[in-house]
Amino acid sequence: MAAVLKNPGIKRFSDNVAKFWFAMGPFRYLVAAGLMILVPVIMERGYLPEWTLLGYLDGLYGTNILFTTGVWILLALGLNVVVGMAGLLDLGYVAFLMLGAYTTALFTESGSAEQFHFAILNPWLALPIALVVAMLAGVLLGVPTLRLRGDYLAIVTLGFHEIVRQTMNNLEVTNGSRGIFGIPHPSVPVTGELGLDGTPYWQWLLVPAIILAVIMIKHLENSRVGRYWTALREDEVAAAAMGVPVTKMKVLAFVIGASTSGVAGWIYAVKLNYISPNNFPLLQSILVLCAVVIGGLGSIAGAVLGAALVIMLPEIVREASGGAEVFGFDIETGRIAVFGVLLIIVMIFRPGGLLAAKRRRVELMEAGAADMVISEAGPDPDETAAPVGQEPVVTEGDDVRAPSEGGEER
């Protein structure tokens, strides 16, 4: 694994891909959107061969998995702001997804005749409401708890997830553990429904949301706010001494994180038609965190990759194994264990995550980062020394204030 990741050929290839990608400028968002719209169609029709791994995920089953992947990409992008950029360990992030989903249910024509509603609106109108409710929840959770640090904050957020879930489980208006069914699909102009030839491509709804989230987060990262977050993450005392409005910035991180989660909740609810507390176990909050960590804390591309891996890999393993057994267990049942192993391998060989953010890459090599530059630069300039040694040059440059395409992480 290590050998593969450090292979100079692969590294050069991936560097070139990245160079090409960023050379496209803002146009790359269009390309990304195009791919995200086309790939589901190609996958669904089974045109992809199995060696691409995606080929295992064909038919309606595949498009459903792509949908889930999209929802998780949104979640991971949001959580990455909270954990990766601002450095606040949030273990209950899926609570905001739940709030977004339930808000949607309670503001649209859902459930039986007796079902309680705040209002019955067009599903599209429920979207801004779900967004605002999730953001408000971010403020409500943030203001009292963000004085806590590290482990304590993690415990409180963990509790927050369970509080929200148990509340939904026990309230009359949310129909308790039976959940709410019949949440309406939003209708789309022209075709009336998302998709082609009657196949609903719900992931298309996610494409603009993901692209907007990426653009928003990227701009935040390269702005004053992003630098404040870095300062907070690195040293809270120093940040306060330099006049960073500490609590405000932390709450802002929570709110930004909650916003993408709220949108994801809306999409989740209107696609599935049905939500219940059982859809949101605590494990999900942990898995989103796994996705962010595997991808690389603080790295936007990493969050996307991490979420895709967390959702798709177990399914691919399930399909590819075809019911094979290891030590008497079928691989399908043990697919979650694949993750444990993957996570450990990634943490050993790529402590910053698969697509580590540049600054994090340096943070994690902290002990003797300077020495490494000296000792490794000589024999193999292509290798690890390059990112480590060049990093300060890149971020220190003249464009710290002015967000530019060149200064981006990948």
Note the residues at the interface with other proteins (CB under 8 A).
Answer: 224, 227-228, 230-231, 234-235, 237-246, 359, 362-363, 366, 369-370, 392-393, 395-396, 398, 400-402
Query: Is 234 or 325 the residue whose CB approaches other proteins more closely?
Result: 234
Query: Is 332 or 363 the residue whose CB approaches other proteins more closely?
Result: 363
Helical spans, DSSP H, in 88-202 = 94-106, 123-145, 150-170
> What one-character-per-residue DSSP string does 371-389 give?
HHHHHHHTT-TTSTHHHHH
At closest approach, how far in Å is the CB of 353 from other proteins?
16
Query: Is 318 or 361 the residue whose CB approaches other proteins more closely?
Result: 361
Helical spans, DSSP H, in 235-272 = 236-241, 246-272
At closest approach, how far in Å is the CB of 359 from other proteins?
6
Query: Is 240 or 338 the residue whose CB approaches other proteins more closely?
Result: 240
Contact status, residue 306 vs residue 353, Cβ threshold 8 Å? yes
Read off the tokens for 275.
């939500």
Query: Is 155 or 240 the residue whose CB approaches other proteins more closely?
Result: 240
Quickly tell me which residue has 């992003």 as its tokens. Answer: 226
At closest approach, how far in Å is the CB of 362 from other proteins?
6
CA distances from 67 to 60, 64, 164, 224 (A): 10, 5, 24, 34
User: DSSP label at 405?
Assistant: G
At closest approach, how far in Å is the CB of 370 from other proteins?
4
At closest approach, how far in Å is the CB of 391 from other proteins?
8
Q: How many helices (H) and strands (E) does the chain have?
A: 17, 2
Query: Is 228 or 266 the residue whose CB approaches other proteins more closely?
Result: 228
At closest approach, how far in Å is the CB of 399 from other proteins?
9
* Pairing of the two strands 329-330 and 325-326: antiparallel
At closest approach, how far in Å is the CB of 287 from other proteins?
28
Contact status, residue 206 vs residue 68, Cβ threshold 8 Å? no
At closest approach, how far in Å is the CB of 224 from other proteins?
7
Cα 329 vs. chain centroid, distance in angstroms? 31
- Rounded to whole angstroms, the Cα distance separating 111 from 274 reads 9
Query: Is 33 or 246 the residue whose CB approaches other proteins more closely?
Result: 246
Query: Is 205 or 385 the residue whose CB approaches other proteins more closely?
Result: 385
Sign, CA torsion 156/88/209/338? negative
At closest approach, how far in Å is the CB of 354 from other proteins?
20
Query: Is 238 or 341 the residue whose CB approaches other proteins more closely?
Result: 238
111: left (phi over 0), alpha (psi -120 to 50) or beta: left
Residue 329 host element (H or E): strand 329-330
Contact status, residue 68 vs residue 62, Cβ threshold 8 Å? no
First to last CA, the chain: 21
